[in-house]
Amino acid sequence: MPNCEVVAMFFPDLGTTCQVDRGDHVRAVGWLHPDHSFPTGPVPPGFSAALRAHAYDSWQPVLAMGPHFCELCSHPAPGADRAGGARNFWIPSMSVVYVAPELIVHYVEDHQYQPPEEFVAAVLACPPQKSDAFLEMLRPFGYT
C-alpha cells in the first residue's frame, strides 16, 4: 500500500487561502477541523437548502482527487456511511469570492456550524451555480 500523508483540511473562516484557491479576493469558509473551535448556532430559514443546492450542483474550476471525510464525527452510527465530500464550491459576491468544501452542508446540518453572516447573505443572494448571472459575477475575479 502506498504511503499516504493525511493532511488536515483546516483553514480559518474568511482567510484568503484554502485547499483549492487563494488570493486577496478569496474568503475560505467551512474548512473545519476538530482541533479548532468553530461557532455554532441557528442559521436563517432557507439557508441549508440554498447551501445544499450550491454544493451539489457546483461550478468546479478545480477537482479534488478524492473525498475528504468529516473529522468531527467521532463515531458514526453503526451501518451509517461516514459523511464525506470531494466537491468544493465558489460563491461570488460584489467584493470577494467565498470558497467552501461540500462538507459544509454536513457541518451546518449535523454539527450546527454557524458560518459567518456575510457568507450566509452571499449564499442566499447568489444566482444558481453555472447560470449566466453566476458566471458574470465571477468574471471580475478572473475565473471565467
CA 19, CA 84: separation in Å to the nearest integer? Answer: 16
Q: Is residue 100 part of a domain?
A: yes
| Comparison of pLDDT for 134 and 57, the residue scoring more | 134
What average pLDDT does this structure show over 99-108? 96
Q: Is residue 14 part of a domain?
A: no
> pLDDT-based confidence at 80, cuts 50/70/90?
low
Q: Is residue 96 part of a domain?
A: yes
Nearest by Cα to 31 from 80, 64, 77, 79 = 64
| Comparison of pLDDT for 71 and 52, the residue scoring more | 52
Domain of 106, in residue numbers: 26-32+41-73+83-138
- Check residue 55 and give its pLDDT: 94
- Check residue 8 and give its pLDDT: 58
Q: Is residue 67 part of a domain?
A: yes
What average pLDDT does this structure show over 106-127? 97
Model pTM? 0.89
What average pLDDT does this structure show over 58-74? 81
CA 30, CA 85: separation in Å to the nearest integer? Answer: 13
Q: Is residue 114 part of a domain?
A: yes
Q: For the segment 7-34, what is each residue's pLDDT rounded down to a tens digit?
A: 557 999 999 999 999 999 999 999 999 9
What average pLDDT does this structure show over 54-71? 84
- Check residue 68 and give its pLDDT: 81
Q: Is residue 111 part of a domain?
A: yes
Q: Is residue 3 part of a domain?
A: no
Task: Count structural domains, the chain.
Answer: 1
pLDDT at 6 over 50: no
Q: Is residue 49 part of a domain?
A: yes
Q: Give residue for cell 483546516.
A: 10
Contacts of 12 (CB under 8 A, 6+ apart): 28, 31, 36
